[in-house]
Amino acid sequence: MEGAHSHYRYLSSIIIIKFFSLSLLLFFTSSIQSLESSSEVISRFQQYLQINTAHPNPKYFEAADFIISQAKTLNLESQTLEYVKGKPVVLLKWPGKNPKLPSILLNSHTDVVPAEHHKWNHPPFDAHLDLFGNIYARGSQDMKCVGLQYLEAIRRLKNSGFEPLRTVYLTFVPDEEIGGHDGAEKFAESETFKKMNVGIVLDEGLASPNENYRVFYAERSPWWLVIKATGVPGHGAKLYDNSAMENLLKSIESVRRFRAAQFDMVKAGVKAEGEVTSVNMVFLKAGTATPTGFVMNLQPSEAEAGFDIRVPPTADPESLEKRISEEWAPSSRNMTFEFKQKASVYDNFGKAALTATDNSNPWWTLLEGAVKKANGKLGKPEIFPAATDARYFRNLGLPAIGFSPMANTPILLHDHNEFLNQEEYMKGIEIYESIIKEYTSYVEPTRNGASREEL
């Protein structure tokens, strides 16, 4: 009896051991499989990063060919629009089951800012993957990551058999880094865009050093101001009023007082970066130059300075214009001014270009829900401090949300050694998978509670 019992125990332990080794084997096989597929995903990201699309000579057609080849593997419709020669806009389409419903536009730009190669630890177009999983490349954060994450999310959805109700469009646009005038601006004004019947646009955001993704509902308008002073020239040893330098310095003092007051509100935590008007002097031009240097004993008759000003959509642009003409460049002090760029804070209908972040905007609520479902956390919605292509869509009165899913990542756009960790990149794909699923499945409810789709 005793022997039979121990024999039974022996057999059952063998069965248990076999069961565990089989599960272990299955576990490792599936990990290896997912490791393989994630390495393919990362390798596609590296390929895109390796295409040098830096200004002033971006390889736009190489980037377009790469995107189109990816689109083919996904069975997406593709077309290349060339509003300006040499500047392709690649438009991809994943048709929805109900083409009458407003569509979703996922936008990204293909260009990147130049890099000072010798100041990087890894060459900026090698897309080097280091031991920590960090991928170093210009564009890894701004914003080739987002462009390919959209595509990888679609790949996963397609592989799972998902079919969207709404149509998804993707645009890969040129020239964002130099203003977007020959890219997103022309596209947003086009007949093609009108026919797409877009309901919501997603565009770029910024990395977040903490666990909360940053998300943007508006942006500050760039005003690039040049002020010029003229004045009486004279001997460098003479004290007199109304020299060009003195006239310009009075303006600079006034600008600095304004700047400090705005910055103090940010420092005190009263306002966020995007909620104040920033002004930074970006050049100073004056003096009488000779081949051996500036003349030191001559007060020049002309002096000028340039300022990068960013105006939030919540600011009063008229009062800032008044300040510029009365305090920063008053004609009474022999001053003139011109704008190299002056984007309106209003949309085409004269309203502040803001995308609602409450339940009046279903796309906002859906985004919040989708990020949560994918185990991501959103920070408080912000005003983007600089300019993105999203402004061209908001100007048309469309909702546009700036979002680049990069948490726990230092903000390195336009910086040396820009990188993104591969795990963060993979997590971002899951986030977009969730967003695209929610967005494309959304059916607008009607007053009586039924959905428009049912009617």
Residues that bind Zn ion (CB under 5 A): 142-143, 204
> Which range of residues in 69-77, 95-103, 299-307, 384-392 is near ligand AME by CB under 6 A?
384-392
Is the sign of the CA dihedral 36, 432, 72, 126 positive or negative?
Answer: negative
- Which residues have CB under 8 Å from 320's CB, separation 6+? 223, 277, 309, 311
Q: Please, which residue, 175 or 433, has the CB nearer to ligand AME?
A: 175
What does DSSP say about strands 134-136 and 198-203: parallel, antiparallel, or unpaired? unpaired
Q: In this structure, what DSSP letter does residue 326 have?
A: I
Token pair belonging to 314? 């919540």
Count residues binding ligand AME (CB under 6 A): 6
> Which range of residues in 147-155, 239-247, 362-370, 383-391 is near ligand AME by CB under 6 A?
383-391
* Closest CB 412 distance from Zn ion, rounded Å: 11
Q: Which residues in the 83-102 window bind ligand AME by CB under 6 A?
A: none
Q: What residues are paired with 168 via a beta bridge? A: 94, 104
CA dist 129 and 203 (Å) reads 26
Q: Please, which residue, 62 or 308, has the CB nearer to ligand AME?
A: 308
The amino acid present at 281, given as its one-letter code, is M
414 annotated ligand binder: yes
**Contact status: 179 vs ligand AME (CB under 6 A):** yes
Q: What residues are paired with 234 via a beta bridge? A: 299
Q: Please, which residue, 29 or 341, has the CB nearer to ligand AME?
A: 341
Q: Name the strand (E) or helix (H) holding 235.
A: strand 234-235
- Candidates 252, 266, 387, 396; binder of ligand AME (CB under 6 A) is 387
Q: How buried is residue 360: exposed, middle or buried, by Cβ count under 10 Å (0-12/13-18/19+)? A: exposed
Q: Please, which residue, 115 or 436, has the CB nearer to Zn ion?
A: 115
**Contact status: 422 vs ligand AME (CB under 6 A):** no
274: left (phi > 0), else alpha (psi -120 to 50), else beta? Answer: alpha
142 annotated ligand binder: yes
Q: Please, which residue, 31 or 341, has the CB nearer to ligand AME?
A: 341
Token pair belonging to 276? 């104040």
Distance of alpha carbon 389 from the chain centroid: 8
- Candidates 68, 226, 354, 386; binder of ligand AME (CB under 6 A) is 386
62 annotated ligand binder: no
Q: Please, which residue, 164 or 222, has the CB nearer to ligand AME?
A: 222
CA dist 252 and 254 (Å) reads 5
3-state secondary structure at position 254: helix
Q: Give which of ligand AME, Zn ion, none residue 297 binds (C-beta under 5 to 8 Å, depending on kind).
A: none
Q: Give which of Zn ion, ligand AME, none residue 143 binds (C-beta under 5 to 8 Å, depending on kind).
A: Zn ion
**Contact status: 232 vs ligand AME (CB under 6 A):** no
**Contact status: 183 vs ligand AME (CB under 6 A):** no
As a dihedral over the C-alpha atoms of residue 247, residue 253, residue 255, residue 257, rounded to 10 degrees, the angle is -150
Token pair belonging to 364? 């906002």
**Contact status: 114 vs ligand AME (CB under 6 A):** no
- 189 and 389 in contact (C-beta within 8 Å)? no
Q: Please, which residue, 96 or 183, has the CB nearer to ligand AME?
A: 183
118 annotated ligand binder: no
The set of catalytic residues is: 111, 176
- Which residues have CB under 8 Å from 2's CB, separation 6+? none
Q: Which residues in the 336-355 window bind ligand AME by CB under 6 A?
A: 341
3-state secondary structure at position 8: helix
- Candidates 139, 174, 199, 222; binder of ligand AME (CB under 6 A) is 222
Least Cα distance to 217 among 195, 238, 202 occurs for: 202
Q: Give which of ligand AME, Zn ion, none residue 387 binds (C-beta under 5 to 8 Å, depending on kind).
A: ligand AME
Token pair belonging to 94? 């994943």
> Which range of residues in 43-51, 163-171, 381-389, 403-411 is near ligand AME by CB under 6 A?
381-389
**Contact status: 388 vs ligand AME (CB under 6 A):** yes
Binding residues for Zn(2+), by number, are 109, 142, 177, 204, 414
Positions touching ligand AME (CB under 6 A) are 179, 222, 341, 386-388
Binding residues, by number, are 109, 142, 177, 204, 414
